[in-house]
Amino acid sequence: MDLKSKVAERLIRYAKIMTPSNMESRTVPSSQCQFALARVLVRELREMGVDNAFADDKCYVYAFIPPTEGKEKCPAIGFIAHMDTVSDYTRKQVTPMVWENYDGGDLALPGGRVITAKDFPHISSLAGRTLITTDGNTVLGADDKAGVAEIMTLAEYILQSDIPHGKICIGFTPDEEIGRGSDYFDVEGFGADFAFTVDGGEEGSIEYENFNGADAEFTVHGKGIHPGDAKGIMINASLVAIRINEMIPEDEIPAKTSGYEGFFHLYEIISHVEEAKLRYIVRDHDLEKYRQRLDLLRDIEKTMKETYGDNVVELVIRESYRNMKEKIMPHFHLIENAEKAVSDVGCRPVILPIRGGTDGASLSYRGLPCPNLGTGGYACHGPYEHITAEGMETVVRILLEIVKTYSADSEGVYS
C-alpha cells in the first residue's frame, strides 16, 4: 500500500466535509453536520472488513479490530481522533490545495494570504515535500482530520497485512474543539487498556502534559435610555465589559506567553448598550495557578457587582479538562514506547507540554490513560493551516510501531 498517497487522499476528502462544532449549541453533537463524516467513516471501516463499526446517536464512532491468533492476552491499544473543526474560518467550503515538491519558501495562497518563513520558520524544513494547504479562505481541518485519516490508514494497512497484533480499538469523537469531546465517550465499551489521541503538531511529537482548562463567560446587563436623558440612569454594558477586560493582567494573554505559562484568552465579544458578553478560555499547567486564575475572575465579578449592582454582571465558569500528567506517570511505558516508535521510523521524538487540551486529558481521568501524538500538522485553527503527506505517512508508521510493541506483550508486562 502507498501509505503517503492513501493518507493524503483521505485527509483531502475528509477536509471537504464541513464539520465545525458550535459553542452556542446545547445539543450533542453541537452540530448535525458532524454526522456526515461519522457516516463516511463507518462505511469505510465496514468496507475494510470491520463489521462492528458504528456511530451512536451522539455522533461517536467506535470500532475494533480483533486480535490475531495467539495475541488475545496482549494489551488492547486504542487510537482516538476528533471529527469536528473549529468554527472560525468555516463560512466557505474548504478547498484543499496540494503543492508537490514544495520549495520551502514563502507560499502565496490563492485567497491572498501568504504562508511566510517569518511567521512560520519551520517551513524551510518542509522543502521537497508534498504540502497540503487550503486556498487561504478557510481552515484546512487537519486538526484533527489528519489524525482521523492516519488512524483509518493504519487500520486499512493492518487489515491487509499479516502483522500479528492485539486488539486495536478505534474511536472518533465530536465536539472536541469546544471542550466536550469526551463527555459521552463510552470508555468501557471502547475496550482499550491504553490509548493515544492522534491530535498534535509535528510528526514525532509526544505530549502528556496539558493545560488545566476552563471556559468563562461574563454577561453584562445594561440599562438603555436616550443618551440625552441618560445621566444617573444609563448603564452602558459595553463600557462595563471594557472595565472587566481591563482587570485581566495584560501580559497573561496567548500573544505574550509560551511553554508552561498560562493565560486568559478573550476569544469573543458581543456588545451593545443593553447587553454585552465576554467569552474567555482560561489555561494553566499548574493546578494551583489555574485555580488562582478562576478566583481572579470571581473577584472581578464581585467587584463589578459592588460597583454596579448585584444584577448587572454574571459570571459562568465551565471547567473543561485537567492536566493528564498525574494519570500518565503510573503508565510511563506509553511515553517510552512512543519515543521508541518515533525513533524506529527515523524521526526525532519531541516531548513538549500541550498549550491546549485533548480528549485524552479527560479520558485519562476517566480511567483510560491516553497521551497525545502529533499528526504532522502546523498552524491549526486558521487559514494558514498546513501539513505534508510525508509527515502523515510517518505518523501512520509510528502508530504501526506502537501496535507492534504492545502486540509483543503476551505476558502482561504493561498491565
Express each pLDDT in 5-37 by its tens digit: 999 999 999 999 999 999 889 999 999 999 999
Q: How many C-beta neighbours within 10 Å does residue 402 have?
A: 23
Give residue 320's pLDDT band: very low, low, confident or very high (50, 70, 90). Answer: confident
Query: What is the C-alpha to C-alpha distance for residues 171 and 368, in angstroms, rounded to an integer?
Result: 13
Position 244 scores a pLDDT of: 97
Average pLDDT over residues 216-226: 94
CB 220 within 8 A of CB 275: yes
Average pLDDT over residues 365-393: 96
- Tallying the residues shown for the chain, one arrives at 415
> Which residue's C-alpha cell is 463507518?
42
pLDDT at 375 over 80: yes
Position 321 scores a pLDDT of: 84
Position 53 scores a pLDDT of: 98
Average pLDDT over residues 95-119: 96
Average pLDDT over residues 222-243: 92
Using one digit for the tens of pLDDT, what is the confidence trace for 272-291? Answer: 999 999 999 999 999 999 99
Using one digit for the tens of pLDDT, what is the confidence trace for 68-102? Answer: 999 999 999 999 999 999 999 998 999 999 999 99
pLDDT at 40 over 80: yes
For the record, the C-alpha cell of 238 comes out as: 459595553
pLDDT at 42 over 80: yes
Query: Which helix (DSSP H) or strand (DSSP E) does residue 153 occupy?
Result: helix 142-160
pLDDT at 354 over 90: no
Nearest to 172 by CA among 37, 278, 6: 37
Average pLDDT over residues 385-397: 98
Position 356 scores a pLDDT of: 80
Using one digit for the tens of pLDDT, what is the confidence trace for 328-347? Answer: 999 999 999 999 999 999 99
CB 304 within 8 A of CB 231: no
Position 410 scores a pLDDT of: 72
Q: What average pLDDT does the structure give for the chain?
A: 95
Position 382 scores a pLDDT of: 93
CB 413 within 8 A of CB 406: no
Position 162 scores a pLDDT of: 85
Q: At what angle do helices 3-15 and 389-407 cross, to 10 degrees?
A: 110
Query: Which helix (DSSP H) or strand (DSSP E) does residue 37 occupy?
Result: helix 34-48
Average pLDDT over residues 165-178: 96
Residues designated as active site: 84, 176
Share of the chain above pLDDT 90, in %: 89
Nearest to 242 by CA among 273, 214, 211, 213: 273
